[in-house]
Amino acid sequence: MTIVGVVGAGVMGTGVAQNLAQSGHRVVLVDLDREILDRATAQIHRNARLSGLLGGPVVDADAVMAAITTTTEIADLADAEFVIENIVENWEAKRAVYAELEEHCAPGTVFIANTSAIPITKIASVTGRPSLVVGVHFMNPVPMKPACELIPGFHTSAETVERTRALLASMGKKGIDVKDACGFVSNRVLMLTVNEAAYLVHEGVADAATVDEVFRSCFGHPMGPLETADLIGVDTILYSVEVLYEQYSDSKYRPCPLLRQMTDAGLHGRKSGRGFHHYDDFGRVLPQ
């Protein structure tokens, strides 16, 4: 059993916390306020109860909850062997959180960055422990996914990588080794696809249902790119495309204005009940 700090209790943090807890680890889950943490624990309890029905393992939801404590204080991570950071995809917010982690965590704590696109070397540079900072790009929904990208930064030690790989294995995941480039492998491709799909809707070439139907029916994809955007979070897609655009200065990553407008309007996808599609309380697509 390992004590793992999980910072950020949104879409990814709740999945990471649940996955760790049902794998026998103790979790200290951190977010900005009590209301967010209460919503997160209710979500974890529900997802754990439904795990078997959703195609995951049958888990003891009460035991999962007993393994998770929640707090608004990073200082409560003093005993954590690993900290998995899952806060919003924004450089200034991440920078501030890593400064706090550096101040409060033990000198040997491994920092695992769960980011869609921000380079791990850049994150490590604002800590005093670059050899102990590593990237893991988890996939959503975390407890259901058997693999993730494992990304060493420039200074990450081989020992940190192997300890992280072992933690992932204990969570039932294979860490696929990927080099540290903005967007890694998955999001260099996925974000371009989703951004271009958003442009199709923005330009009136097709509506969201049609775009997704082409990918599902013609290519046999289980989900279309705009359903995928709703699953990830339209806001998170926008922030990730912005990071890629800024990092590569390449117009192919120019964020679609529709993503910005939807983010401003609160149409964040499944987590807000509406994005490119409408959703019920169980995350099922409602007819338009």
Q: Is 230 in the site for ligand NAI (CB under 6 A)?
A: no
Q: Are 30 and 6 in contact (CB under 8 A)?
A: yes
Contact with ligand NAI (CB under 6 A) among 3, 27, 30, 59: 30
* Residue 141, preceding peptide bond in cis (omega within 30° of 0): yes
The window from 109-117, 126-134, 159-167, 213-221 that contacts ligand NAI (CB under 6 A) reads: 109-117
Site residues for ligand NAI, 239-278, by CB under 6 A, read 240
For residue 147, give the H/E element and its range: strand 147-152
Q: Is 137 in the site for ligand NAI (CB under 6 A)?
A: yes
Nearer to ligand NAI, 147 or 205 (CB): 147
The window from 29-37, 176-184, 193-201, 275-283 that contacts ligand NAI (CB under 6 A) reads: 29-37
Q: What single letter denotes the amino acid at residue 262? A: M
CB of 189 to ligand NAI, least distance (A): 14
Alpha-helical segments (H) within the chain = 11-22, 34-50, 61-66, 91-104, 120-124, 158-170, 186-202, 208-213, 219, 225-232, 234-248, 257-265
Q: Is 138 in the site for ligand NAI (CB under 6 A)?
A: yes
Contact with ligand NAI (CB under 6 A) among 5, 13, 130, 225: 13
Q: Are 225 and 272 in contact (CB under 8 A)?
A: no
CB of 257 to ligand NAI, least distance (A): 20
The conformation of residue 132, written as its DSSP 8-state character, comes to: G
Q: Are 172 and 25 in contact (CB under 8 A)?
A: no
Distance CA 234, CA 228 (A): 9
Nearest one of 52, 56, 55, 45 to 21, comparing CA atoms: 45
The window from 122-130, 161-169, 232-240, 244-252 that contacts ligand NAI (CB under 6 A) reads: 232-240
137 catalytic residue (yes or no): yes
Contact with ligand NAI (CB under 6 A) among 2, 26, 36, 49: 36
Contact with ligand NAI (CB under 6 A) among 232, 244, 256, 262: 232
Choice among 137, 202, 221, 278 that is catalytic: 137
CB of 244 to ligand NAI, least distance (A): 11
Q: Is 236 in the site for ligand NAI (CB under 6 A)?
A: yes
Distance CA 23, CA 261 (A): 39
Phi, psi at residue 82, to the nearest 5°?
-130, 150
Q: Is 87 in the site for ligand NAI (CB under 6 A)?
A: yes
Here the tokens at position 193 are: 């696809």
Nearer to ligand NAI, 117 or 132 (CB): 117
- Which residues are identified as catalytic? 137
